Every structure is written in structure tokens, then in C-alpha cells.
Amino acid sequence: MNAMSMMRRALAFSSMLAAACGGGDPASPSAATKDSVTDTRPLRMLADARHVSIGGVTGSVLFLQSGAGGDTLRATLKREFNMVWSGNFLKFATIRPTRATFDYRLADSMVTFATTNGMKVRGHTLVWHNQNPAWLTQGTWTRDQTIAALYEHVDAVVGHYRGKLAAWDVVNEVLNDDGTMRSTLWRDRIGDDYIELAFRRAAAADPSVPLYYNDYNIEGPGAKADSAYALVKRLKNAGVPIDGVGFQGHFVVGKLPTRAQLAANIARFVALGVKVEFTEVDVRVALPSNASALAQQAQDYATIVQACLDVPGCDAVEMASVFDGESWVPGTFPGWGDASLLDMTFARKPAYFAVRGALGG
Ligand code: XIL
């Protein structure tokens, strides 16, 4: 890229940030009129009354853009949700393009947005095997060098947001589907204790932020959930500062565990002394979807919210995407989609009303 195009790109980025943080601020009166939905019972109001968080994610540049899509996304987020999670904004590759560079601009804009609109923020994620920069994934690393890189990252990033976040996903997706430990750059170079080292370091960097282990396919009964349970128990017994477990909640329509199974699994983790949150919920449907699939999806979303509300200690349900236009599903699972509460045009699906009903609205 030449100097001129780099400058153009930087200018475009700055104006996007300005739009997200203030310029096209959805809090301004003119922006309110752009949002056609006038609703006296947004999800967050109902969630507040139940003392739970209802979360939405953003993680795409749409959040930063002025104009119809970005305005509607931000207006929807702040109207419906009392929590946001950071999507791609805090992933290693996003904030550490080089070892010496810490680029917090995207994540900072989201934290500012959340603070302005009275929303909590989940930080995602410190230690993961995906979306890492080449300087970290490549080369030969000793255990000590990798621990040094881990500590450097945790100290800087957790330190940067000290006192500002409601949760940190310290480690993400540490298990294989059969329940064995996943081979990752962290585990392969450091050993199984990378998990406990990360938690202890994060607690030192921000003693007040709740620290989570986050994973998928651990929501209902099964070998992976049993291993996750055993892991959390081991960490707790060793005095590791873990405060919660995130159930990602990426489901296939009609293929969920039952409400009772979900609640029983949540309850056994809570009995270990941790919170449980659903952190990345979506319910994907084979495309093209139809009315009966969307009706089943609505029931599935209600099941998730009900199971969480069934167990004190489950205190948040966060959606993987606010609307289908930001969903990762079609790109990752070809032939599947329609997974969010709101469709491509932000119109509410039966699932939206089912979540509202489950929250008591
Ligand atoms: C996904 C994002 O939504 C996509 O935009 C990105 O291309 C890939 O990652 N588990 C996680 C999330 O913890 O961070 C992933 O998010 C989805 C699976």
C-alpha cells in the first residue's frame, strides 16, 4: 500500500470511529427518528427487572459506520441490550498486528459506546487458538518465551481495561469435542498449565473483573461438558481465580438439549462456585428457512433463556449476532443461516418475541 492510500484508509477509519463514538451518535435526538421501532418493552428493560444481562455482539466495521446500517445497528444494540461483547475487536490478531503494536481503537470505541449507554462489556478473548497474528503463530518458541508473551499480552490488555469490563474470556475453546485437551500453540508450547497461568496473571492485572473459561458444545450433557466440569473443579480446587464459565451456545434448530438438561448442567457448574453465562447464542436453520423452522427456532431461543433463568447463578444470555447481516453462520456453515433474533433488515423474527416472552414481557 502506498503512503496516499494508507492515509486515506486511516482517515476513513478515523471518521468511522468518530461516527461510532459521537459523530453519528445514536444518542442524539435526530438518530432516534432513524430507528423506526418504537417499543415500550425492549429486551433490556425486561432483563433488568430479572437481574440478568441480555447481550448483543458487534464485531464488524458496521458498528463503526455512519449511515443506515451502522445507525440501525447501534440504535438496536442500545435499545435492546444491556450488555455487549467485543466480537472480533479484542482478539489477539486485531489488537496485536505486530508484537510492539497495541491497537485498541476498535475495542475502545465499543467500550465508550457501552459506557455512554449504560451497558456492560464482555472482553473476548485473551488466549485462543484462532485469530492470532503470524508473529505469534510462526517460529520456534520455548515454554519460557511463550509464557513471557502470554504475560505481556495479559498485563497490557487487561491492564488497559482495568475496572471497565464486566467479564473477560480468559481462555477460549480449550477442549476437543471428545473432551480431551485441545492442541493449541499455547498448550503445545507451555503445557496444560497455560490455563492456570493465564487466569492468575489476569487476576493480578485486574483484581475486580470476573474471569471466564468459554467453550462450545458444553451446554448440555456429554463428554465435553463433563471434561469442562472436571477442569473447572480442578482449577477451583487449586485456588485458581476463575469466576465463571461461558457456554457459547451455537445451536442447530431443533437439536438443543432440553430446558431441564440445560438447567441441570448450569446448576452443577454453579455448585462449584462459578457463574454461568450463555455467551454467543445463535440457532442456525437450513436455508432457505420456512415458517415452521422459524417457529422451532423461537421455541429453542425461549428454552435457552428459560434454562438460564431457572438457575440463580446464570446471569446473562448474549447473542452471537444482533441481526443476520452480522452473523458468522453462513460463512462458516455453508447452507445454514437465519440464526439471529433479527433478520437481514433488522425485522423481528418469532425468536425475538420468544426471548421477550421468556423474559416476562
Ligand atoms: C467468529 C466471528 O464471529 C467471525 O466474525 C470470525 O470471522 C470468526 O470468529 N467462537 C468464538 C467466536 O469464540 O469468537 C467466534 O467468532 C465464533 C466461534
pLDDT at position 70: 92
CA of 336 to the centre of ligand 1 (A): 16
The type of residue at 337 is G
Q: 206: which 3 cell numbers?
A: 485486574
211 CA from centroid of ligand 1 (Å):
19
Cell 502506498 maps to which residue? 2
Distance 32 CA to ligand 1 centre (A): 30
Residue type, 56: G
pLDDT tier for residue 160 given thresholds of 50, 70 and 90: very high
How would you class 262 by CB atoms within 10 Å of its CB: exposed for 0-12, middle for 13-18, buried for 19 or more? buried
Residues 219 and 177: their CA atoms lie apart, in Å, by: 12
What distance in Å separates the CA atoms of residue 270 and residue 274, rounded to the nearest whole number? 5
User: How far is 318 from 85, CA to CA, in rounded Å?
Assistant: 8
Which is nearest to 269 in space by CA: 236, 302, 303?
236
List the one residue out of 184, 351, 186, 190 whose CA is nearest residue 284.
351
Closest atom of ligand 1 to 331 CA is 7
Q: What is the pLDDT of residues 47-94, one digit of tens each?
A: 999 999 999 986 677 888 888 889 999 999 999 999 999 999 999 999
Q: How confident is the model at residue 30 (pLDDT cuts 50, 70, 90)?
A: very low
Residue 102: what residue type? Answer: F
Report residue 334 as a C-alpha cell: 455453508
Single-letter amino acid code for the residue at 241: P
Q: What are 31-50's pLDDT values in tens digits?
A: 333 334 556 789 999 999 99
Tell me what pLDDT residue 166 has.
Answer: 98
Please report the pLDDT score of residue 5 as a whole number: 44
Q: Name the residue with the closest Cα to ligand 1, atom 13.
A: 172
Please tell me the distance between residue 319's alpha carbon and the centre of ligand 1 in angstroms.
12
Contacts of residue 127, defined as CB under 8 A and 6 or more positions apart, other chains included, come to: 150, 170, 171, 172, 186, 194, 195, 198
Residue 139 CB coordination number (10 Å): 8
CA angle 239, 146, 88 (to 5 degrees): 85
- Check: CB of residue 279 under 8 Å from CB of residue 249: yes
Determine the Cα–Cα distance for residues 218 and 266; give it in Å rounded to an integer.
10
> Where is average pLDDT lowest: 16-25, 117-126, 195-204, 213-222?
16-25
Identity of residue 215: D
For the record, the C-alpha cell of 312 comes out as: 440463580
Select from 213, 210, 242, 211 the least CA-distant residue to 225: 213
> 8 is written with which cell numbers?
486515506
List active site positions.
173, 280
Q: Return the percentage of the chain with pLDDT > 70, whole number.
A: 88
Cα gap 186→150, rounded to integer Å:
9
Each residue of 257-284: pLDDT tens digit? 999 999 999 999 999 999 999 999 999 9
Q: Determine the residue of 86, 130, 321, 327 to mutate for testing ligand 1's pocket, defined as the one with the most ligand atoms within 8 A of the Cβ atom.
A: 130
C-alpha cell at 138: 510462526
Question: What residue ranges line ligand 1, CB within 6 angstroms?
Answer: 59, 88, 172, 248, 280, 328
Could you tell me if residue 347 is left (phi over 0), alpha (psi between -120 and 50 degrees) or otherwise beta?
Answer: beta
Ligand 1 atom closest to residue 250's alpha carbon, by position in its atom list: 18
Question: Ligand 1: which residue has its CA nearest to atom 7?
Answer: 328
Q: What is the pLDDT of residue 4?
A: 41
Mean per-residue pLDDT of the chain:
91
- The whole-number pLDDT of residue 143 equals 98
Please check the confidence at residue 206 and state whether its pLDDT lies above 80: yes
Q: What is the pLDDT of residue 28?
A: 34
* Alpha-carbon span 266 to 45, nearest angstrom: 24
The pLDDT value recorded for residue 269 is 99
How far is the C-alpha of 129 from the C-alpha of 174, rounded, in Å? Answer: 8
Q: Report the distance separating Cα 317 and Cα 308, nearest Å.
A: 8
The residue type at 341: L
Please give the grid coordinates belonging to residue 120: 456492560
Which regions of 58-210 does DSSP assign to beta strands (E)?
83-85, 120-127, 167-172
The predicted pLDDT at position 26 comes to 35
pLDDT value of residue 301: 98
pTM higher than 0.85: yes
In this model, does residue 211 exceed pLDDT 80? Answer: yes
Work out whether the CA dihedral 105, 107, 109, 112 comes out positive or negative.
negative
* pLDDT at residue 24, rounded to an integer: 36
